[in-house]
Amino acid sequence: MLDLGAAPGSWTQFSASRVGPRGLVVAVDLTPMSAHAENVVAYTGDFYDGEVLRSIASHGPYNVLLSDAAPATTGNRSLDTTRSAAIAEHALYLCGELLHEGGHLVVKIFQGGEEQALVKEFRRLFQTGRLFKPKACRAESFETYLIGLGYRRPESQTPESVD
């Protein structure tokens, strides 16, 4: 399991408990994290960076990619939602290099209009693609999650090495 934008680490800890002692959780974030379990490998860095991608790819491919990453907010909702969508698009792009066929992707996104185009892309690349707003999210929050279950690698795409 790969956790993108993992700090402060609650999803990483939960995932480590779910995969058990034989599983592995790889976590990456700009903010340093300590590995809280023997089955966690934590990297400090930017998952847009080629060196960081090579490091996390060395542990893959993964059955699950999780991204709870969010951009540093500016207070400009349009800008914040656009930056959030860019993170979601990058996580979706990484599926081609890091996710097993049949794997799953969960990514946080700020609602602002771009999520519908991403849902369409999720539905193209996964057996199931949808938006989900957990009950734990505050009603006024514009955070929601895109969920893709059952990754289907496009015919024209084969896994490539991360450059």
Structure tokens at 33: 């994290």
**ω into residue 159 within 30 of 0, thus cis?**
no
pLDDT digits (tens, 9 = 90+) for 56-108: 999 999 999 999 998 888 888 889 889 999 999 999 999 999 999 999 999 99
Inform me whether the pLDDT recorded for 147 exceeds 90: yes
Q: pTM for the whole thing?
A: 0.87
Q: Quote the pLDDT of residue 138.
A: 61
Q: In 3D, which of 107, 109, 112, 115 has the Cα closest to residue 78?
A: 112
More confident residue, 153 or 119: 119
pLDDT interval class at 161 (50, 70, 90): very low
Q: Quote the pLDDT of residue 61.
A: 96
Q: What is the mean pLDDT of the chain?
A: 88
- The contacts of residue 39 (CB under 8 Å, 6+ apart) are 16, 19, 20, 21, 22, 23, 24, 25
Query: Would you tell me how many other CB atoms lie within 10 Å of the CB of residue 130?
Result: 13
Average pLDDT over residues 130-136: 78
The rounded distance, in Å, linking the Cα atoms of 123 and 152 is: 10
**Among 1.10.150.120, 3.40.50.150, 3.30.70.141, 3.20.20.80, what is the CATH number of 2-151?**
3.40.50.150
Q: Quote the pLDDT of residue 156.
A: 58
Average pLDDT over residues 130-137: 76
Which positions are catalytic?
108
Q: Quote the pLDDT of residue 157.
A: 56
pLDDT digits (tens, 9 = 90+) for 16-50: 999 999 999 999 999 998 777 889 999 999 999 99
Can you give the residue ranges of every domain in the chain?
A: 2-151
pLDDT interval class at 137 (50, 70, 90): low
Q: Quote the pLDDT of residue 72.
A: 87
